[in-house]
Amino acid sequence: MLLDRLKDQPWAEVPSPAAYHSLFKALLARANMPLDAYPYTTKSLAYESVRRDLKERWVLFCQAFKARKAAFIGSATDHSRPLLYDRIEIDEQLVDCEESTQGIELILGDNLPPLRLPRFTLIAAIDKATDCCLAFHLVLKAHATQDDVLSLLFQCLTPCPERAITTDGLQLPPGPAFPNMDPSLPFGVPREIALDNAWIHHAFSVKAFCTRKLKATVSYGKPKTPTLRLAIETSFNRVNHGLTHRLNSTTGSSVTDDKRESAKNRKGVPTISLSDFEDALYVTLAESNHRPRPYLNGATPLETLRYQAERTYLVDVDDDQRAAWNPFLETREITVHDLSAPGRRPYVNFEYLRYKGPGLLALPGRESRVLIQYDRRNVRQLAAYRLNGQALGTLECPVSWQSYPHSIATRRYLFQHCRELVRKSQDPLTEYLLRLRERCSHPTDAARYLSTYQEFVGGYGLPTALWPKPPTDQSEATDSQTERSTRSHAGSLVTNRTTGHPYDYWSMDLNPGGSR
């Protein structure tokens, strides 16, 4: 019975003392055990002894099964003493608490009223040898994308200044919080990047940057075995116990779970705001990097990283080559149209739009293919090159799509799901942002508006504390208010022309609690 359960046979039953004791009595009857011998001489028929035997035997079988299974799922690069940057583990986790929009300052339109936001996704990178958190990224939606993974890799390889904590009661430990904030520490190239089997990790952009640029090995591991990435899972456990699980849970294990947020509190706005949660998460991970570990001989992860960086061989590169490592930068070969047509300007088709530039006029008539280089976060401009590497200058998209920086994902979403808006609007990006602002009654809609706003203001991958702030000077504030009202008026005119009704202003009737 126990072996069938361990092997997950279809006929296996759950091992319980009652079932195990029934099987024991059946074996005694099959063996023709005398009725005047033990265990028939006892009233319980040795029930307690059978229960203890079940417990000990089940633990023994489980340990043997795990030991045998670990021999086949161990990491191929598992060393007795791993070195610095030998293995970097990356994973995502859904944060089990909700925040509000209180205190978020916007430069496009008025600030949001206090609204409930949904659960977000946390992405982090951990060095296996030192257990040091290299970087983290908070995604303003439930599911991360390949661009979010690229943003995390970009943070690991880019020097960043120390952040100022504005939340009362929070204080950073002395010293740099992360390795990329210490100029004395090298930015080593990882030899292996361990990921799980999520589809975003199998994206071509992620695999191409890790293997072609970083020259690292991408390891996906065996499915449904999170223990292969024990360092990142342990780090998430520290975040849960130190921060996220201290707040009321959004779901709980059942409808009567004490950790679940009550129906009364769900009708209002969460106490903690998004800005405060980002500061608390930043301080939690920084304290984790400065906390001594017993398996590191009492040293902190940052001390261990600094010690190994001074005494081990690392694959290091200069600043110029590291500056060229932009994970969002991609190259594609496309066709040039109307190159030999008289009276027409040549153009290229890229992501549903035509790009034109004076450099295409210098292209010989026998060449109809060019190389373009673009940034996934901002596709308003393309850098064109001939196949031999000669630069042809910059290609620009139509003027109606140049109001804000936008990514490939946003443009694809607009052309695939908002075709009517794209056809009728003279400024699709502005009207799309205004439409998202209208529909913020649900927490998911509010998060979609914030993520789109973050992209349009050029703050992709940055926390809310580093977003562009409104001007503080009175004259600048007056000019900004005039420009904002003009843009809002233009957006209203576009809306009246396309949809036939003006936009509504913000009011507290939007149900800040967010109806489910």
- Residue 252: its pLDDT value, please? 59
Determine contact, residues 198/90, Cβ cutoff 8 Å: no
Is 80 domain-assigned? no
Angle (deg, nearest 10), helices 230-242 and 274-289: 130
d(CA 430, CA 401): 9
Q: State the chain's mean pLDDT as an integer.
A: 84
Q: Which of 371, 397, 423 is the last residue of a domain?
A: 397
180 and 304 share one domain = yes
pLDDT band per the 50, 70, 90 thresholds, residue 472: low
- Residue 78: its pLDDT value, please? 46
Is 81 domain-assigned? no
Q: Which of 323, 352, 370 is the last residue of a domain?
A: 323
Phi, psi of 336 (to 5 degrees): -95, 130
Q: Which is higher by pLDDT, 9 or 355?
A: 355
Is 171 domain-assigned? yes
Percent above pLDDT 90 for the chain: 45
Q: Which tens digit of pLDDT belongs to each residue from 157-184?
A: 888 888 889 888 899 999 999 999 988 8
165 and 225 share one domain = yes
Of 11-25, 27-41, 154-168, 348-362, give the range with the top mean pLDDT: 348-362
DSSP secondary-structure letter at 504?
Answer: P
Residue 477 has pLDDT above 90, yes or no: no
- Residue 494: its pLDDT value, please? 37
465 and 482 share one domain = yes
What's the total number of domains in the chain?
Answer: 4
Q: What's the CATH code of the domain at 356?
A: 2.30.30.130
Is 370 domain-assigned? yes
43 and 138 share one domain = no
56 and 179 share one domain = no
Is 305 domain-assigned? yes
d(CA 489, CA 215): 51
d(CA 224, CA 250): 25
276 and 150 share one domain = yes
Lowest mean pLDDT among 47-61, 71-85, 157-171, 209-223: 71-85
Write a three-state SS string for 187-241: CCCCCEEECCCCHHHHCHHHHHHHHHHCCCEEECCCCCCHHHHHHHHHHHHHHHH
- Residue 496: its pLDDT value, please? 35
Q: Which tens digit of pLDDT belongs to each residue from 398-431?
A: 999 999 999 999 999 999 999 999 999 999 999 9
Q: Which is higher by pLDDT, 483 or 168?
A: 168
Nearest to 232 by CA among 369, 340, 134: 134
465 and 431 share one domain = yes
Average pLDDT over residues 321-335: 88
Lowest mean pLDDT among 256-260, 282-286, 369-373, 450-454: 256-260
Residue 34 has pLDDT above 50, yes or no: yes
Range of the domain at 36: 2-72
Q: Which is higher by pLDDT, 352 or 261?
A: 352
Is 498 domain-assigned? yes
49 and 165 share one domain = no
What are the distances in angstroms from CA 336 to CA 333, 345, 350, 394, 418? Answer: 10, 10, 11, 14, 28
Residue 510 has pLDDT above 60, yes or no: no
Strand partners, 88: 127, 193
Residue 74 has pLDDT above 70, yes or no: no
Is 107 domain-assigned? no
Is 408 domain-assigned? no
337 and 363 share one domain = yes
Q: Which is higher by pLDDT, 314 or 212?
A: 212
333 and 465 share one domain = no
Strands 369-375 and 132-139: unpaired
- SS3 helix, strand, coil % of the chain, rounded to 5? 40, 15, 45
393 and 369 share one domain = yes
- Residue 382: its pLDDT value, please? 95
Average pLDDT over residues 102-121: 86
Q: Which is higher by pLDDT, 226 or 454?
A: 454
Amino acid identity at 65: F
257 and 130 share one domain = yes
- Residue 15: its pLDDT value, please? 85
Percent above pLDDT 70 for the chain: 87
Q: What's the CATH code of the domain at 169?
A: 3.30.420.10
